Amino acid sequence: MDPLRIFRLNQTYRNINRLRTILTVFAKHGFYRFLDDMNLTYIIPLVNRLKKIKSDPIDNAVIPRRIRMVFEELGPTFVKFGQMLSTRPDLIPEEFVVEFAKLQENVPPFDIKTVKEIIESDLEYPCSVLFESFDDEPIAAASIAQVHHATFSDGTELVVKVQRPGIEKIVKTDLSILFMLAGLVEKYFPSLELYNPLGMVDEFARSISKELDFVTEASNIERMARNFSDDPVLELPGVFWEYTTKRVMTIKFIDGISISDIPRLKKEGYDLEEITKNAVNIFLKQVLVHGYFHGDLHPGNILVLKGNRIGLIDFGIVGRINKKMMESVATIFVSSMREDYDAIAEEYLEMGILSDDIDFEEFKRDLRDILEPFYGRPLKNINTGELMLETIRVCIKHQIKVQKEFLLLSRSIMTLEGVARQVNPDFNLLDEGTPFIKSLLLQRVSPKRVSTDIYKSVKELTKFSAVFPKQMKTLLKKMITDSFTITFKHKGLDDFMGEIDRSSNRLSFSLVTSALIIGSSVVMNIGSGPVWKGLSVLGIVGFCIAGFFALVLALLIIRSGKL
């Protein structure tokens, strides 16, 4: 069944209205013909269809900018979607990544009365009972939530994060529409399947669902706190669980200076070199020791505390990598420093992200072309994040699937490295990371690790030996009894059937119009019914209706570009 029909059967009237709004905005920004190819233009209000909507092909150079403008106009869900795509150069072309990175959340705060209603509904007590004080003006406001400063009766300073009213329902509606549109894009534009539109929306749905659940974010903070319980350099905002729900999160306020406020840091006597070293070492421990790292390390989320200590906030996005990927990252760094292109390429193969038909030698040559310009530079002039992203671009060129965890790690390293060099221009990530990298690589050849790997291999071999004969017996039995089935999937037939449907609908419309014209002519000649100025009123009405139908049909045909 057509995805649109499924949508119309299962969604509410409000969702249909939202779909109409989304399609109208896309049409307004020049995507009318794109929507027409997917048989969606009939949902756009007639008054908008009859207006002069630009339907000429759009210059490819302006498509990314136009889509960014569409996302900005459609609000929070689409802005978040674009922001997610801007971190995935493996999914979309670079020009879209650059344009979507410009998307900003520019939303006004919601009123304090609503804020308190949500808190009191979730925590079941009045704000005056829960808190000694609660600031009416928010510290910050975003598309999902806003945060307020508050205190307990004992003087403990707090940050209370409150979800926007109705945002979950808005996101749910928009996600259902995004899934439908992605399905239609894959159906009507097979060439775009390479970018996996449904996969993009599915990943975004999982990501934003976590952001909408503050219990998940609070759990992220708790896990990070456990990992760094014995590290005096890092301070995290403690969670007050009895004041935390899915829509409200209460955490301890961290009083610090943004790491990007260099003039203030200098004025108050902080050691910029030590600050940089502490921030980077914390991140390297997260990645290479615990395999669990903060995924959004922009300057606003990194605070500097007394004693050159570091505070981290906003744990809506975190990354997880396993031991194998930790070691792979370490090997890639070391191999890059040694200019060992074979080892780098083989490590990508070990990570399991190379396609079977890749030209391995060409891949290595492209890696060499990308990496060689970095060699010969002083270490302080080598940007490790840039190096990793350039390598990812080579992977994309060869249609290599890059793991999303590795992409988030690369983006985080690039962001943190940029922040660190603002504070300390002589900073070098490779120097700071060397001790962690050596430790990881030594673990790979330790007796304990080797014996563990051997045990796992023997266990897997034993399991395979047990199930293989049974699986082969089942396969042979199916082949012998003719129950072995091969399924073929056609492509393009749905488009052909859709074109037939449109043609038959227009033909039916034309026949009705012709019948009205003929019938009106007969009535005019007979002169039956009411007469006005010697002409049959019924005939005049019939001609008017036929003329209107003919005009609408002509407009639809002209706008389709298929005269």
Contacts of 471 (CB under 8 A, 6+ apart): none
Quick one: three-class SS letters along 504-551? HHHHHHHHHHHHHHHHHHHHHHHCCCCEECCEEHHHHHHHHHHHHHHH
- d(C-alpha 327, C-alpha 105), whole Å: 37
- d(C-alpha 480, C-alpha 469), whole Å: 16
For residue 466, what are its two tokens?
A: 């047990």
Return the exposure string of 473-494: e unless at least 16 CB atoms fall within 10 Å of the residue's CB, then b.
eeeeeeeeeeeeeeeeeeeeee
Contacts of 430 (CB under 8 A, 6+ apart): 333, 337, 379, 382, 384
Contacts of 69 (CB under 8 A, 6+ apart): 29
Triad 157, 161, 166: Cα angle to 5°: 155
Contact 213, 44 (CB under 8 A): no
248 has which bridge partners? 162
State the amino acid at position 445 in one-letter form.
Answer: V
- d(C-alpha 58, C-alpha 80), whole Å: 25
User: Using the 8-state DSSP alphabet, how is residue 239 labeled?
Assistant: B
- Within 10 angstroms of residue 259's Cβ, the number of other Cβ atoms is 27
State the amino acid at position 102 in one-letter form.
Answer: K
Contact 251, 159 (CB under 8 A): yes
Radius of gyration of the chain (CA): 31
Q: Does the active-site annotation cover 296?
A: yes
Which of 90, 174, 296, 314 is flagged as catalytic? 296
- Residues marked active site are found at 296
